[in-house]
């Protein structure tokens, strides 16, 4: 049967179209499980909700929200919630699907889910943001829960948003359901190490990949797109390993310094101003020139679809570490493979965040919490082990790390689907 969905018309480089092409590429490596592959091309459940709130001036505003559960064969849904003016159903579907792959790639007992609201949160007051979050949580409350679907922070959401979501769900169910979300404040059942976990995962997988290609981190030049939680944490860890952060880009500007940034200074600047633009320790440059920067490691840690075919031909890095979800379109993937640029794909590279979210969920159920050192040791072990299996698969089939990651993940998901069978 066709995988065409009546409510989405993807293009080759759109998020859902990119995901479908990635799945198609892995079919030859699935063996008898390929008969179930259509399962991966259809979200299990997609919920669109209206979110009416009263603004501070008394007017009523409406926002459109989404929660998509892509696949639940291996466990409850798991995936973040983003607030962004470009959020739409197709994007959330793709992000949920990538969460299915990511969770299976690191062998977490989760399916994939994702949520979002089409909104520019910078235009809302603190109280308006709270009212919108609480109404959204109430609207999607019919499908989320500690054993059903566990949201987490994503673009423009944070521990405070998760606290509101947890409190709203708890009030509606009449019990303290700390495990309904992850990425919460520490004193509400959050986990140590969660804030920097995604960036740490990027560093750990990047360090292992660098060893494989004999790239010495001490002195390596790193360019980072997106300097939020993921990009800044990864930059900090690469800096501690001796690398130089020579370029950075975010919504406020693009900057470059071939000698490397002072990480303490740029971190303070970003904290004070909200972005890298205007940082005195570097020179400003044109936005598109970021892709021409001389670097050894490139970390796209912003939004999806950033590395296009045209940009892939300009990248000078030896190693690309995908801190963002879906930053590379398939045509660009092919170009970088032909050019000998190693890409560590998002579905393993940035899985540190969901791995520590899993630790948080487990700690909430047991009411027993680990130290940050324990968290980091467990995270590193899982990430290194998952990457090794993926690399072995890539070597065995002579395929890219992305296709190998999908091969490992899809096999796990479809094996669960086959063993569970169809009901009724």
pLDDT confidence tier of residue 5, bands split at 50, 70 and 90:
confident
- State the greatest distance between any 2 C-alpha atoms of the chain, in Å, as a whole number: 64
- The whole-number pLDDT of residue 408 equals 98
Could you tell me what percent of the chain has a pLDDT over 70?
A: 99
Six-digit token string for 178: 């700390």
- CA-CA distance, 251 to 227, in Å (whole number)? 9
* Cβ count within 10 A of residue 147: 10
Q: At 418, is the pLDDT very low, low, confident or very high (cuts 50, 70, 90)?
A: very high
Nearest to 24 by CA among 403, 292, 409, 368: 403
Residue 43: strand, helix, or coil: coil
Cite the active site residues.
114
Structure tokens at 204: 């750990």
> What is the per-residue pLDDT across 242-294, written as a single tens digit (0 to 9) for each?
999 999 999 999 999 999 999 999 999 999 999 999 999 999 999 999 999 99
The string of pLDDT tens digits covering residues 34-85 is 999 999 999 999 999 999 999 999 999 999 999 999 999 999 999 999 999 9
Q: How far apart are CA 170 and CA 151, in angstroms?
A: 14
Q: What distance in Å separates the CA atoms of residue 189 and residue 178, rounded to the nearest whole number?
A: 6
pLDDT tens, residue by residue, 170-216: 999 999 999 999 999 999 999 999 999 999 999 999 999 999 999 99
Q: CA–CA separation, 131 vs 317, rounded Å? A: 44
pTM over 0.85: yes
Q: Which of 3.40.50.300, 3.40.640.10, 3.40.50.10860, 3.10.250.10 would CATH assign to domain 43-176?
A: 3.40.50.10860
The alpha-carbon radius of gyration of the chain (Å, integer) is: 21
Q: What is the per-residue pLDDT for 23?
A: 96
pLDDT of residue 7: 85
What's the CA gap between 161 and 154, in Å, rounded?
A: 10
> In this predicted model, what pLDDT tens digit does every residue of 311-337 receive, in sequence order?
999 999 999 999 999 999 999 999 999
At 10 the pLDDT is 85
Q: Which residues contact 315 (CB under 8 A, 6 or more apart)?
A: 291, 298, 307, 336, 339, 341
| Identical topology for domains 43-176 and 197-349 | yes
Residue from 344, 84, 79 nearest 234 by CA: 344
Check if the beta carbon of residue 341 is closer than 8 Å to that of residue 398: no
Question: Tokens in use for 82?
Answer: 């983003």
Output the CA angle 330-389-109, nearest 5 degrees.
Answer: 85
pLDDT of residue 3 exceeding 70: no
Average pLDDT on 8-23 reads 89
Mean pLDDT within 221-243: 95
Bridge partner list, 48: 66
Instruction: Assign domain 197-349 to a CATH class.
Output: alpha beta
Domain range list for the chain:
43-176, 197-349
pLDDT band at 2, cuts 50/70/90?
low
Q: What is the rounded average pLDDT of the residues 13-36?
A: 94
Handedness of CA 395, 401, 407, 408 (dihedral sign): positive
Average pLDDT, the chain: 96
């Amino acid at each position: 049967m066709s995988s065409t969905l009546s409510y989405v018309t993807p293009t080759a480089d759109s998020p859902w179209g990119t995901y479908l092409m990635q799945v198609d590429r892995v079919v030859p490596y699935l063996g008898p499980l390929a008969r179930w592959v259509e399962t991966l091309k259809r979200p299990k459940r997609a919920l669109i909700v209206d979110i009416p709130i009263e603004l501070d001036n008394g007017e009523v505003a409406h926002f459109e929200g989404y929660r998509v559960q892509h696949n639940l064969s291996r466990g409850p849904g798991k995936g973040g919630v983003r607030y962004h003016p470009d959020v739409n159903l197709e994007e959330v579907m793709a992000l949920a699907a990538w969460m299915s792959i990511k969770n299976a790639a690191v062998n977490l007992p989760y399916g994939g889910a994702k949520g979002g609201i089409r909104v520019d949160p910078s235009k809302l007051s603190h109280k308006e943001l709270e009212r919108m979050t609480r109404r959204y949580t109430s609207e999607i409350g019919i499908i989320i829960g500690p054993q059903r679907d566990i949201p987490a922070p994503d673009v423009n959401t944070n521990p405070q948003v998760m606290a509101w979501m947890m409190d709203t769900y708890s009030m509606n169910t009449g019990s303290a359901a700390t495990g309904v979300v992850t990425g919460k404040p520490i004193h509400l059942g959050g986990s140590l190490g969660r804030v920097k976990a995604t960036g740490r995962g990027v560093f750990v997988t990047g360090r292992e990949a660098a060893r494989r290609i004999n790239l010495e981190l001490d002195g390596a030049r790193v360019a980072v797109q997106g300097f939020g939680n993921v990009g800044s944490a990864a930059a900090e860890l690469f800096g501690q390993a001796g690398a130089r952060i020579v370029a950075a880009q975010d919504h406020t500007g693009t900057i470059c310094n071939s000698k490397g940034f002072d990480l303490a200074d740029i971190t303070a600047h970003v904290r004070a101003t909200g972005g890298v633009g205007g940082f005195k320790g570097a020179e400003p440059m044109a936005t598109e020139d970021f892709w021409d920067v001389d670097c050894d490691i490139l970390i796209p840690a912003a939004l999806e679809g950033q590395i296009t075919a045209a940009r892939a031909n300009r990248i000078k890095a030896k190693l690309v570490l995908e801190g963002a979800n879906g930053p590379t379109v398939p045509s660009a993937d092919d170009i970088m493979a032909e050019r000998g640029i190693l890409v560590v794909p998002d579905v393993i590279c940035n899985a540190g965040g969901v791995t520590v979210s899993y630790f948080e969920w487990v700690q909430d159920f047991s009411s027993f919490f680990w130290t940050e050192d324990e968290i980091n040791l467990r995270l590193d072990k899982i990430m290194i082990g998952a990457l090794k299996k993926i690399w072995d698969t890539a070597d065995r089939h002579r395929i890219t790390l992305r296709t190998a990651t999908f091969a490992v993940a899809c096999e796990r998901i479809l094996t669960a689907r086959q063993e569970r069978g169809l009901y009724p």
